[in-house]
Amino acid sequence: YVLKPTFTAQHIAHLDKQAKLSRAYDGTTYLPGIVGLNNIKANDYANAVLQALSNVPPLRNYFLEEENYRRIQRPPGAIMFLLVQRFGELMRKLWNPRNFKAHVSPHEMLQAVVLCSKKNFQITKQG
């Protein structure tokens, strides 16, 4: 569940109605959705944007349920779908009530941004 969290429609519907603290493996408590993102080099600007997007309920709810976008048809060789996949993975990790830690790594999402932007955006430089 920690590596690939899943959410039911019922769970998603109740996210904004009940604020329940979760306990990480080290004993710290956190509120799902309000967890830290690891800073990898100079990506603090991207972390702020990702945190803001993760708290827009319609967007968050769509990406928490992987079935919403799993079957999107895309042309062979198209890589832009990687952004959709990675953003969904990050949303599910941020909102996971059973995380090991009170922070999450955005590494895969940021790598997808670098790849899909053809290196116009880098995690090693402010953008």
Per-residue pLDDT tens for 39-97?
888 888 889 999 999 999 999 999 999 999 888 878 887 889 999 999 999 999 999 98
Residue 123: strand, helix, or coil: coil
Tokens of 14: 């109740």
Could you give the count of Cα atoms lying within 13 Å of 25 in the half-sphere of its Cβ? 5
Per-residue pLDDT tens for 10-54?
888 888 887 788 888 888 888 888 888 988 888 888 899 999 999
Tokens of 49: 């944007």
Q: Spell out the domain ranges in the chain.
A: 9-117
Contacts of 7 (CB under 8 A, 6+ apart): 64, 65, 92, 95
